[in-house]
């Protein structure tokens, strides 16, 4: 096990607690109030012994930021397309992880973007950001933050254009074969 950074405050600076109004399912009963202070991680459930069934689970019945003890992603937010991959430490630590952490690390055996993770696990994007940040601090996840300057990189743009041109249309033809040069 990795010595977990018990006293660090996560990658986004100090934990923020504020009365959020995240969505609630339409027929939910009135939800309980958020905890007033970031208590030492009273995660909602102990690790449940059903690790592979995450996709069928609906987490929407829980107010999403309960899972992060009220923290929301701070200013230095990870972009949506940030790629995350489980580390071998993370996979080894799977049995010790709480439910959402477990689900994220298990899903990241192959690289996924934060957006894909959130969609697959039915978690709010910012919840995934916070938990992924925690897992990164604990070295359970490798997080590859894209550079914003990539968008102006000529070689990247050329690669994207070439790649997209090769995408066949619904008749199976790539871009350059269906029109005269």
Partner 1 sequence: MVSAPSPTPEDFHVTATALPEPEHLTAVANRPPLPVKMVIAGGFGVGKTTTVAAISEIEPLTTEASITEVAAGVDDLTHTPHKTTTTVAMDFGCITLDPTLKLYLFGTPGQDRFGFMWDDLVEGALGGLVIVDTRRLDDCFAAVDYFENKGLPFAVGVNVFDGSLGHDLDEVRWALDIGENVPLVLFDARERGSVRDALLVVLELALARAER
Q: Report the C-alpha gap between 17 and 25 in whole angstroms.
A: 22
Please say whether the beta carbons of 63 and 34 come within 8 A: yes
Q: Is 119 in the site for partner 1 (CB under 8 A)?
A: yes
CB of 29 to partner 1, least distance (A): 19
Interactions with partner 1, residue window 37-56 (CB under 8 A) = 49-53
Residue 53, token pair as written in the block? 């069934």
CB of 7 to partner 1, least distance (A): 26
Q: Using CA of residue 25, residue 26, residue 30, residue 33, what is the dihedral sign?
A: positive
- Choices 7-15, 32-40, 74-82, 130-138 (CB under 8 A): range interacting with partner 1: 74-82
Q: Is 81 in the site for partner 1 (CB under 8 A)?
A: yes
Q: Report the C-alpha gap between 111 and 83 in whole angstroms.
A: 6
Q: Report the C-alpha gap between 76 and 13 in whole angstroms.
A: 9
Nearer to partner 1, 9 or 81 (CB): 81
Q: Which of 25, 41, 61, 160 binds partner 1 (CB under 8 A)?
A: 160
Residue at token pair 């070295």: 139
CB of 21 to partner 1, least distance (A): 8
Taking residue 3's Cβ as centre, other Cβ atoms within 10 Å add up to 7
- Choices 8-16, 27-35, 37-45, 150-158 (CB under 8 A): range interacting with partner 1: 150-158
Q: Is 25 in the site for partner 1 (CB under 8 A)?
A: no
Q: Is 6 in the site for partner 1 (CB under 8 A)?
A: no
Q: What stretches of 42-153 show up as alpha helix (H) in DSSP?
A: 88-92, 99-107, 114-121, 125-137
Q: Angle 99-107/125-137 helices, nearest 10 degrees?
A: 80
Q: Which of 67, 118, 132, 135 binds partner 1 (CB under 8 A)?
A: 118
Residues near partner 1, by CB under 8 A: 22-23, 49-53, 64, 77, 79-85, 91-92, 94-95, 109-111, 113, 115-116, 118-120, 123-126, 144, 146-148, 150-154, 156-161, 163-171, 173, 175, 178
């Amino acid at each position: 096990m990795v010595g977990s950074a018990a006293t660090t405050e996560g990658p986004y600076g100090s934990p923020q607690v504020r009365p959020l109004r995240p969505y609630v399912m339409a027929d939910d009963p009135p939800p309980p109030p958020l905890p007033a202070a970031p208590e030492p991680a009273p995660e909602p459930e102990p690790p449940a012994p059903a690790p592979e069934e995450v996709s069928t689970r609906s987490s929407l019945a829980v107010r999403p930021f309960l899972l992060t003890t009220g923290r929301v992603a701070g200013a230095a937010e990870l972009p949506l397309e940030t790629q995350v991959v489980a580390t071998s430490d993370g996979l080894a630590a799977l049995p010790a992880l709480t439910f959402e952490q477990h689900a994220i690390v298990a899903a990241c055996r192959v690289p996924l973007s934060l957006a894909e993770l959130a969609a697959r696990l039915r978690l709010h994007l910012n919840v995934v950001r916070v938990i992924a940040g925690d897992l990164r601090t604990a070295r359970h996840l490798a997080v590859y933050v894209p550079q914003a300057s990539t968008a102006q990189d000529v070689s990247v743009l050329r690669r994207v254009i070439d790649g997209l041109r090769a995408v066949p249309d619904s008749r199976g033809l790539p871009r350059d074969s269906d029109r005269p040069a």
